[in-house]
């Protein structure tokens, strides 16, 4: 029997060191509950850039505030290989668990093209990164933040729990991308999302039915207070009673497109 731990928690926004520490804590907690696979949401290291949808500065790259927050994301980005991700790898090895986690991956100048990528990683129980997938096409406003990925990570990994693989967010609407993963013979698919809202549940259920596989649709929690104070939240968001910008919605879907685990909210 395969046991999953869905970590629907907040990272420490724009602080990779503290986010990594939290991730390690959750991995060890999941191991104590006998979970086999520990899953985090899109861009969890160190936080999905929710400000692109909820700030009045959205899309205004001539603004000092936007340049500042992007620079923070880039400086804070995970390097692969690198010291911070190696700590997650060590936790996977120490607990002998698979870890699926999203990250803002930075290719630092002098080592590559100086780009920030929206990345999905699968780490095996030996601590090895067995899937390193960069989101192929950043969605909407993400194009101002993340670079284009490649198809290197469109693959599955054979495990005692079946063939596992994953995609990020709107890649689930890309027919050829879905087909590439279906051809890999997925048994368990990990769909990483900022939060699993209505259209994301629809895409995840369709993916499960089309691919004849189980789907873990994984969201995360980000609160209004997590957004840098120098970015002004749009009035319609600020005046909303909810303290959350991203409110989870993580769920598990069977190959018939039905919920095994109903969406879990904040």
Q: How far apart are CA 91 and CA 97, in angstroms?
A: 8
Residue with tokens 């096409």: 137
- Just list the catalytic residues: 42, 135, 169
Q: How far apart are CA 47 and CA 67, in angstroms?
A: 17
Give the contacts of 191 (CB within 8 A, at least 6 positions apart): 166, 167, 168, 169, 172, 200, 203, 204, 207, 215, 216, 217, 218
- Cβ–Cβ contacts within 10 Å for residue 88, how many? 25
Helix residue ranges per DSSP H, the chain: 16-32, 51-54, 64-76, 83-95, 175-182, 198-211, 235-238
Q: How far apart are CA 207 and CA 213, in angstroms?
A: 8
């Amino acid at each position: 029997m395969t046991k999953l731990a869905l970590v629907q928690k907040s990272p420490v926004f724009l602080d990779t060191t503290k986010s990594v520490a939290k991730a390690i804590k959750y991995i060890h907690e999941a191991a104590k509950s006998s979970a086999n696979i520990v899953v985090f949401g899109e861009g969890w290291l160190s936080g999905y850039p929710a400000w692109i949808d909820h700030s009045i500065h959205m899309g205004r790259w001539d603004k000092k505030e936007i340049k500042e927050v992007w620079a923070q994301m880039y400086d804070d980005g995970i390097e692969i290989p690198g010291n911070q991700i190696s700590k997650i790898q060590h936790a996977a090895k120490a607990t002998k668990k698979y870890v699926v986690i999203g990250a803002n991956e930075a290719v630092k100048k002098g080592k590559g093209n100086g780009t920030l990528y929206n990345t999905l990683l699968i780490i095996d129980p030996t601590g090895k990164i067995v899937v390193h997938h960069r989101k192929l096409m950043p969605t909407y406003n993400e194009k101002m933040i993340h670079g284009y990925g490649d198809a290197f990570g469109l693959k599955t990994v054979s495990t005692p729990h079946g063939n596992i693989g994953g995609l990020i967010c709107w890649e689930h609407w890309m027919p050829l991308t879905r087909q590439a993963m279906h051809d890999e013979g997925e048994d368990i698919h990990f769909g990483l999302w900022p939060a699993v809202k209505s259209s994301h549940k629809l895409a995840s259920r369709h993916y499960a039915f089309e691919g004849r596989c189980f789907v873990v649709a994984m969201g995360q929690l980000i609160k209004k207070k997590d957004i840098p104070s120098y970015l002004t939240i749009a009035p319609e968001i600020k005046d909303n009673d909810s303290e959350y910008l991203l409110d989870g919605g993580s769920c598990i879907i069977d190959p018939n497109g039905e919920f095994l685990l109903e969406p879990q909210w904040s």
